[in-house]
């Protein structure tokens, strides 16, 4: 009998394979007292387990092909960095000695403390890094309790061609299983913009999330069909359905293969409108992927990685080296550097918390530009480093989460102060460096025309703009179904920002997930967007849509989508916009 389950399609593609049900066996950690004479032995047991965990990760990394995407190795390297950090070695060792508790319990207490810090972070991307903490701690716990290595980490080919069925997956799980050649994954939890699903899209793994209780309905080794675009999971398909999806699978593979021809082509609509395609980046290693994809620059360079997993914020020279590497690697193409977008609870500045207050809702608290201005010395260090790096290539500076003109003026004044300092020190920088503001909360979109008079460009961050506009946390399984880029309020705010840029003759770009989703490309073109910034793996598909679009032939009622509150009507309008005749 055919069974069809509906979830959220988060990574396009068709997969046909047998189910492999994944269960995460969490170690049962309990506290017990260590005799005084055995304390140092317990310390050694923990340190030995950490060393073995490092060896396991290095072995996994050594099996990853050299031509694999940088995403594949970056998560492994992140976990190795965590294992080398004192927060997972020194602090639990101190607990063992002071409390005379077992290694597992000391590690669990430290894990809970770290998870609490990540849970309180306002930035959704940084919050998802709690998964990395869990993954690393669970690895050490498995070693301490003599459990076997997780089956998805054993590179013996057992998962090749299988559809993974799981409660949820961490980004690290996804990376490891992609390396083993899984066909797709389906999870009970997760949202369209979680870091795992974003990673699945970048790695080209068809994926469905939010299929409630899927492990109750699917049997291990059962043949499955996954449609990562519609979110449909089919078990026990009849011959006709199986053949239909076989044809869809072949067509999709041919489509992906055909995208290579667009790499050397200019990005231009059929009626001659030139469009700029930029890439988002967060690590220096991303540059290789970005240049090979044919991006025209970096539209969003996240700097948070410089502040992660450390007690003190990075000094000016360290930041300068990082920014210089990026701008020189881009061969004089523009690089837009976003100043640090951290929350008040991120541990920096010598290990002291920037705010000791309990934050009820950190997404609405001291974060991004607010934190920058609250910590002017840390902000000044970053601004000086970015300015100095601008002497080596084309750099733009972008301030996150601007909500008031006062914030923008404060940031600009501090930047001018840094320029005067560099002048006195005879240090080179681009005296005409461009300054921009991110539009990612409703207030900034409503006031976009006001901001446009005082900046050189605007950048729409749709991930935050959508969740702030609709008052939903896109990582919360209970409400993330409400995350809707086509909500009329969202589209009106985007249009308002684009019109403000047009009126004041400044560039407006979009750097959220919406910019890299081909379903919305023609709509955004119709609204007037000319600068898209996205994950580099999405560039060629977006370029294909743009190059095959005739703007003058888009339906005359295209912009009616901004006035519709009927989901069926919105789907119909979007289907018309994306029709083959345009």
Q: Which residues are catalytic?
A: 195, 511
What is the Cα–Cα distance from 211 to 228, expressed in whole angstroms? 12
Question: Which residues have C-beta within 8 Å of that of residue 345, sequence separation ≥ 6?
Answer: 117, 120, 121, 353, 354, 355, 359, 362
Nearest one of 557, 551, 545, 547 to 520, comparing CA atoms: 545
Between helices 130-144 and 39-62, what is the axis angle to 10°? 120
H/E stretch holding 546 reads helix 539-547
Helix (H, G, I), strand (E, B) or coil at 226: strand
On whether the CB atoms of residues 338 and 438 are closer than 8 A, the answer is yes
H/E stretch holding 507 reads strand 507-510
What is the Cα–Cα distance from 206 to 209, expressed in whole angstroms? 10
Within 13 Å of residue 473, how many CA atoms lie on the same side as its CB? Answer: 17
What is the Cα–Cα distance from 403 to 451, expressed in whole angstroms? 9
Residue 192 dihedral angles phi and psi, to the nearest 5°: -70, -20
- For the chain, how are helix, strand and coil distributed in percent, rounded to 5? 50, 15, 35
Q: Across the strands, what pairs with 144?
A: none
Question: Which residues have C-beta within 8 Å of that of residue 575, sequence separation ≥ 6?
Answer: none
What is the Cα–Cα distance from 291 to 404, expressed in whole angstroms? 36
How many whole angstroms from its chain centre is CA 414? 29
On whether the CB atoms of residues 554 and 277 are closer than 8 A, the answer is no
Question: Which residues have C-beta within 8 Å of that of residue 439, sequence separation ≥ 6?
Answer: 402, 445, 448, 451, 458, 459, 460, 461, 465, 493, 497
Helix (H, G, I), strand (E, B) or coil at 132: helix
H/E stretch holding 276 reads strand 276-281
| Residue pointed to by tokens 């960095």 | 81
- Class of residue 238 by CB neighbours under 10 A (exposed 0-12, middle 13-18, buried 19+): exposed
On whether the CB atoms of residues 384 and 421 are closer than 8 A, the answer is yes
H/E stretch holding 460 reads strand 457-460
What is the Cα–Cα distance from 15 to 227, expressed in whole angstroms? 7
What is the Cα–Cα distance from 77 to 525, expressed in whole angstroms? 38
Maximum Cα–Cα distance across the chain: 82
The tokens for 478 are 């209970």
């Amino acid at each position: 009998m055919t069974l069809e389950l509906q979830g959220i399609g988060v990574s396009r593609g068709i997969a046909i394979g047998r189910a492999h049900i994944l269960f995460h066996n969490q170690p049962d950690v309990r506290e017990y007292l260590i005799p005084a004479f055995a304390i140092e032995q317990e310390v050694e047991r923990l340190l030995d387990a950490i060393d073995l965990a490092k060896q396991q990760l290095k072995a996994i990394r050594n099996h990853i092909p050299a031509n694999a995407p940088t995403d594949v190795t970056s998560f492994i390297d992140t976990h190795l960095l965590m294992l080398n950090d004192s927060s997972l070695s020194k602090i639990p060792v101190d607990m063992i000695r002071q409390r005379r508790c077992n290694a597992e319990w000391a590690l669990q207490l430290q894990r809970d403390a770290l998870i609490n810090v990540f849970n309180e972070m306002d930035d959704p991307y940084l919050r998802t890094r709690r998964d990395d903490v869990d993954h690393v701690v669970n690895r050490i716990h498995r070693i301490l309790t003599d459990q076997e290595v997780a089956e998805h980490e054993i590179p013996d080919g057992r998962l090749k061609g299988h559809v993974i069925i799981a409660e949820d997956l961490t980004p690290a799980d996804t990376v490891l299983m992609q390396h083993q050649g899984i066909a797709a994954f389906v999870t009970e939890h997760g949202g369209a913009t979680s870091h795992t699903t974003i990673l699945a899209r970048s790695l080209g793994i068809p994926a469905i999330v939010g299929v409630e209780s899927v492990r109750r309905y699917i049997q291990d080794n059962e043949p499955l069909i996954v449609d990562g675009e519609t979110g449909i999971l089919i078990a026990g398909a009849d011959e006709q359905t199986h053949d239909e999806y076989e044809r869809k699978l072949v067509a999709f593979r041919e489509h992906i293969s055909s995208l290579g021809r667009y790499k050397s082509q200019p990005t231009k609509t059929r009626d001659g409108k030139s469009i700029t395609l930029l890439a988002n980046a967060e690590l220096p290693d991303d540059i290789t992927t970005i240049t090979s994809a044919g991006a025209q620059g970096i539209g969003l360079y996240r700097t948070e990685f410089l502040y992660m997993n450390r007690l003190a914020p990075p000094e000016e020279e360290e930041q300068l080296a990082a920014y210089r590497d990026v701008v020189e690697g881009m061969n004089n193409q523009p690089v837009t550097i976003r100043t640090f977008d951290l929350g008040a609870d991120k541990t920096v500045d010598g290990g002291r918390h920037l705010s000791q207050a309990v934050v009820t809702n950190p997404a609405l608290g001291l974060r991004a530009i607010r934190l920058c201005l609250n910590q002017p010395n840390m902000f000044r260090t970053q601004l000086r480093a970015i300015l100095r790096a601008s002497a080596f290539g084309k750099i733009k500076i972008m301030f996150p989460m601007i909500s008031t003109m006062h914030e923008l003026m404060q940031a600009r004044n501090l930047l001018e102060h840094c320029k005067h300092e560099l002048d006195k020190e005879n240090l080179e920088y681009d005296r005409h460096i461009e300054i921009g503001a991110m539009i990612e909360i409703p207030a900034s979109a409503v006031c976009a025309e006001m901001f446009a008079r005082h900046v050189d460009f605007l950048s729409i961050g749709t991930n935050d703009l959508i969740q702030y506009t609709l008052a939903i946390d896109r990582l919360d399984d209970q409400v993330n179904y409400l995350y809707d880029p086509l909500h009329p309020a969202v589209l009106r705010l985007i249009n308002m920002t684009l019109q403000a840029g047009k009126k004041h003759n400044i560039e407006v770009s979009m750097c959220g997930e919406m910019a890299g989703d081909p379903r919305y490309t023609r709509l955004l073109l119709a609204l007037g967007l000319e600068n898209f910034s996205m994950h580099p793996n999405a560039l060629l598909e977006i370029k294909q849509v743009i190059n095959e679009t005739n703007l003058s032939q888009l339906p005359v009622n295209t912009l009616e989508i901004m006035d519709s509150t009927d989901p069926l009507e919105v789907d119909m309008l979007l289907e018309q916009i994306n029709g083959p005749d345009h």
